Amino acid sequence: MNHSTGSRRNLLSGVLLGVGIAAFVDETVFHQILHWHHFFDRSTPAAGLVSDGIFHAFGWFATVAALFLFADLRRQGRLDWTRWWGGILLGAGLFQLYDGTVQHKLLGLHQIRYDVDLLPYDLAWNIVAVLLTAAGTALVLRARRSPARAEAGRA
């Protein structure tokens, strides 16, 4: 595997895990614990529950794919921790930004919460998304500027 392929696989593994983590937290906290919304709220409660299940499966598929890539990178000694952690933050941030803008506002699939002033929730949701994305981007750029690093000697 050349350096470029290893770099892309580190980033992809991290992004997929970040998406999986963000989906898991969203599904667990907002859908199951707080009962604030379902993935698709524009139909019956049963349709909302089914959409939650599909969303949850998507999050787990992303997580499992990320962990297979991670294991392969570790096995090859090609894991770049900085790029990988940057990918996690980038994936979580971009997922949350997509959710907060496209799914909440453009498509109207659901809102964070109902029967309240949405502005504070939307601002908090999207500000956290931008901060995660910025932190992830900074780590990925730092990894790009650093010389090629394998896993050996890094933790």
- In tens, the pLDDT along 139-154 reads 999 999 886 555 543 4
Residue 152 lies inside a defined structural domain of this protein: no
Residue 155 lies inside a defined structural domain of this protein: no
CB contact set of 123 (below 8 Å; sequence gap of 6+): none
Residue 150 lies inside a defined structural domain of this protein: no
Q: How many domains does the chain have?
A: 1
Residue 77 lies inside a defined structural domain of this protein: yes
Q: Domain span at residue 40? A: 3-145
What is the rounded average pLDDT for all residues in the chain?
Answer: 89
Q: Which of 136, 123, 57 is nearest to 92 (CA)?
A: 136
Over residues 71-97, mean pLDDT? 98
Residue 151 lies inside a defined structural domain of this protein: no
Is the full-model pTM beyond 0.75?
A: yes
pLDDT at 10: 98
CA–CA separation, 105 vs 35, rounded Å? 19
